[in-house]
Homo-oligomer: A and B are copies of this chain.
Amino acid sequence: MSSGIVRCVTLRGTAESEDVLTAFLSYLGRDPHFVRIEIPGVPGHLDVARFVLAKGLNRSVRSQDFRIAPSDDPDVLFIGIPADPALTFLVARQALGAFLAETYVLVPAGQENERIDWDGEYDLLIERTESP
């Protein structure tokens, strides 16, 4: 049985790339520390720590493969994704905040580790290690 939260958000390009794209934010419980970002038509996906997204609502946060920061417009956040060329977008603060709020219902902040199925993860690790 699947349980989780998936929401679509609209990414608006910054001056350099004025595309409007729909991205899916997924929080699927198995990986309670992370939010998966998928942009249909853009290959691959990005797993960003939930606390990074949350912190980015209010402060600039930069990790190796993701940047999120407030913008000049208080209703809009800046998101940067390394690519070639780099992708930079604006996303509605309200949309990201509402998504994160829903994830906190499923797994409250600070209780992520309690939700991880460590035995299952261990079995999976062993299995992967044993496979050629």
Residues in chain A within 8 A of chain B (CB atoms): 2-8, 10, 12, 19-22, 24, 26, 28, 38-42, 51, 54-59, 70, 74, 93-94, 97-98, 100-102, 104-109
Q: Which of chain B's residues have a CB closer than 8 A to the CB of A70?
A: 20
Q: Can you list 29 A-B pairs, Cβ within 8 angstroms, ordered by A?
A: A2-B106, A4-B105, A4-B108, A5-B105, A6-B102, A6-B104, A6-B105, A6-B108, A7-B98, A7-B101, A8-B57, A8-B98, A8-B100, A10-B93, A20-B74, A22-B57, A22-B58, A22-B93, A24-B97, A24-B101, A24-B104, A26-B104, A38-B109, A40-B51, A40-B54, A40-B55, A40-B58, A41-B55, A41-B57
